[in-house]
Every structure is written in C-alpha cells, then in structure tokens.
C-alpha cells in the first residue's frame, strides 16, 4: 500500500487523530479494566476470554485506522490522459482540474483540504486526517466495521456489569458519498419517471468485491489490496 504524501509525524499530531486514538484507548481501558473486571473479573477463564476477544477487535480497529491514515488514498498517474472513446466518459464533459492542472479520471475529485486530486474520492475524514479514496477505502471500511463491533461489545459488557452486579454507588466508579453528477442524474431520472441506477453500480456482490477483493478470506485484512489497479478505470453497468 502506497504511503501518503507529506510527513507521517505531522499527520499523527493532528488534534482529531490524537482525539480518535484517545477515545479508542479510553473505551478499551474502561471496558476491560473497569466494567469487565468488575463484572466477571480478569482472573478467571470467562473474564480472560472476553478480554482477549475485545482486545482483538480493538487491535484490528487500530491497525486498520493506521493503515487508512498513513496510506496515500490515490494519486492520479502522471501518464494519465483522457480517452475520448472511453465508455466510462460517454455523455460526460472532459474533467480538467484547474488547480492541479491535469485531467481527472472518472470518480476523481479535488480535495480542498489535501489540495490535490484523489482517485475515487469519497470524502476527507478529519479523524484520520486523510482523504478516503481508491487506495485506502478498504482499510477505512474495516476500521468502521471493527469500531462498530467494538462499540456494541463494550455496550453489552457495560449493561451486564450494570444490571447483574451490585454496585457501591457511594464510591466514584468511573464511572459512568456520492458525487454531484450522480445526484443530478438521479434527479433527472426521477423527474422523467425513470428508475435510476448509478453507472458504476454493479450490484451488491460486485460492489463489495471491488472494494474488499475477490477472496472473502482476505476481506478483513486492510493490507490485502492486490486487487487494486491504477484507479483510473472502473467497470460500468450495462443498464
């Protein structure tokens, strides 16, 4: 996976990134060393098993977070030139970025924060201090997925601790992505009474495979990006 432009140290020093990591650390500490320890105890098999499972989820979340934050989301190849006969460009005007002084491939957009064009740009995420684009979309999705699982896990542990144990409340107990042209095309289709389908929408299965890869065994590995190409061309639907 390509590294992002600029200083990695400067990116890590971003207040939002520091805040996100701090929240992750706080949730982990509270869940394992406060709620779980108070509910089951970390010295027995059940408590240790839950602690190990939650630690694995948090570690996976943090690793994918680092991958998404440190990776270059996708730079337009210097050799790229628009093809007038490209089927992906039918009905679209030539897309030229006045700020970068280069042509933009399909689904490429200029980020005002990063001040450059990003391949298949989804959005600029302040929490990773980076754009979410072609090269780090998978690691970002995995990060969000693990964060969701971890949050639910933590909430369940908190509820069990709250309702199945006796608390001494007198003791302080912590205590408690879409694009503008797609939007216009959808509006025009609805206005004319037609059913709209995005030109790059290949169906649920293929859409997932384009991001996560064809091998389901590698879906949860943020560094398994061998299926990615140069990010300038995408398959389009026949409908």
- Residues 196 and 189 sit within 8 Å (Cβ to Cβ): yes
Q: Is the dihedral of CA 73, 76, 77, 82 positive or negative?
A: positive
- Residues 75 and 134 sit within 8 Å (Cβ to Cβ): no
CA distances, 209 to each of 67, 215, 219 (Å)? 19, 8, 9
Strands (E), 70-143: 96-97, 102-103, 109-111, 116-118, 123-125, 130-132
Active-site hit among 125, 131, 143, 221: 125
Does residue 97 carry a catalytic annotation? Answer: no
- Residues 75 and 116 sit within 8 Å (Cβ to Cβ): yes
Angle made by CA atoms 43, 48, 54, in degrees to the nearest 5? 145
74/110 Cα distance (integer angstroms): 11
- Residues 133 and 118 sit within 8 Å (Cβ to Cβ): yes
Burial of 41 (0-12, 13-18, 19+ CB in 10 A): exposed
| Residues with active-site annotation | 125
């Amino acid at each position: 996976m390509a590294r992002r432009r600029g200083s990695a140290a400067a990116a890590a020093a971003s207040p939002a990134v520091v805040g996100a990591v701090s929240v992750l650390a706080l949730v982990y500490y509270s869940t394992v060393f406060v709620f779980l320890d108070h509910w089951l105890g970390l010295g027995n098999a059940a408590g240790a098993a839950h602690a190990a499972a939650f630690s694995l989820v948090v570690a996976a979340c943090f690793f994918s977070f680092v991958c998404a934050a440190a990776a270059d989301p996708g730079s337009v190849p210097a050799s790229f030139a628009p093809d007038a006969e490209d089927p992906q460009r039918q009905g679209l005007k030539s897309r030229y970025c006045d700020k970068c002084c280069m042509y933009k491939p399909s689904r490429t957009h200029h980020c005002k924060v990063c001040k450059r064009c990003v391949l298949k740009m989804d959005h600029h995420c302040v929490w990773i201090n980076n754009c979410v684009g072609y090269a780090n979309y998978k690691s970002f999705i995995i990060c969000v997925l693990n964060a969701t699982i971890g949050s639910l896990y933590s909430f369940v542990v908190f509820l069990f601790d709250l309702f199945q144990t006796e608390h001494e409340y007198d003791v302080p107990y912590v205590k408690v992505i879409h694009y503008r042209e797609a939007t216009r095309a959808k509006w025009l289709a609805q206005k004319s009474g037609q059913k709209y389908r995005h030109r790059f929408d290949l169906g649920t299965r293929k859409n997932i495979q384009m991001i996560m890869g064809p091998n389901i065994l590698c879906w949860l590995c943020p560094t398994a990006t061998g299926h990615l190409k140069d990010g300038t061309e995408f398959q389009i639907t026949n409908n």
